[in-house]
Amino acid sequence: MNKGLLIALEGPDGSGKSTQIELLEKYFVDKGIEVIRTREPGGTKISEKIRAVILDNDNQEMDNMCEALLYAAARAQLIKEVIKPAIAEGKVVLCDRFVYSSIVYQGIARDLGIDTVKSINDCALGGLEADLVFMISIPYDKGIGRKKNQRELDRLENVGMDFHKKVFEGYSKISSIYDKIELINGDDSIENIHRNIVNRVESYIEHK
């Protein structure tokens, strides 16, 4: 078991992960608990550079395997530099996306296969596992619609609705494969979703 607590939020683009991470961070800070927030791809100097390459609208020719390896490379750096040390110090780490994003986006939506993507990522994870994984579920067109209202779409968000539908179906699929994934209804008010997540976090900590 991890000394600290690693909580990952997963879900399609626009499902509300960043919004919920911000609220969850405040929840822990208010309790006087040290918390670190990361995002994927990114979270370190090197990983943010990899993020810029992946999301660049100019890189339309990027090969699917190249993309999968870049996500795993960014993740490996983040884990080594930030996540593992924080967990070892007993801190709470909140991850805006984790390995399940690669399994869904690269493994299922890009058709590389779950096993292939999992094995690439086993190298990146170096044995690290999340304690809690919340998957915010939302109809695929609703999530991307929210994003469009928020800002200009990046290379991945611009791929078309068929891809977003595959992502949505991919998340549904993996939530039935991995027991660890806890489904959260994202088609609700921000406050209700937050309360739902906090209830589950408190129940986990109580039984840890």
Residue numbers 56-95 binding ligand TYD by CB under 6 A? 71
**Using the rule CB under 6 A, is 194 a contact of ligand ADP?**
no
**Using the rule CB under 6 A, is 158 a contact of ligand ADP?**
no
Shortest Cβ 147–ligand ADP spacing (Å) = 6
Cα distances from 192 to residues 12, 79, 139, 189, 199, in angstroms, run: 19, 31, 17, 5, 11
For residue 136 the two structure tokens come to: 């915010």
**Using the rule CB under 6 A, is 15 a contact of ligand ADP?**
yes
Could you say which of 40, 108, 133, 193 contacts ligand TYD (CB under 6 A)? 40
For residue 169 the two structure tokens come to: 């179906």
Shortest Cβ 31–ligand TYD spacing (Å) = 26
* Candidate segments 11-19, 130-138, 177-185, 197-205, binder of ligand TYD by CB under 6 A: 11-19
Q: Is 12 annotated as a binding residue?
A: yes
* Candidate segments 33-41, 56-64, 174-182, 198-206, binder of ligand TYD by CB under 6 A: 33-41
Shortest Cβ 13–ligand ADP spacing (Å) = 5
Q: Is 18 annotated as a binding residue?
A: yes
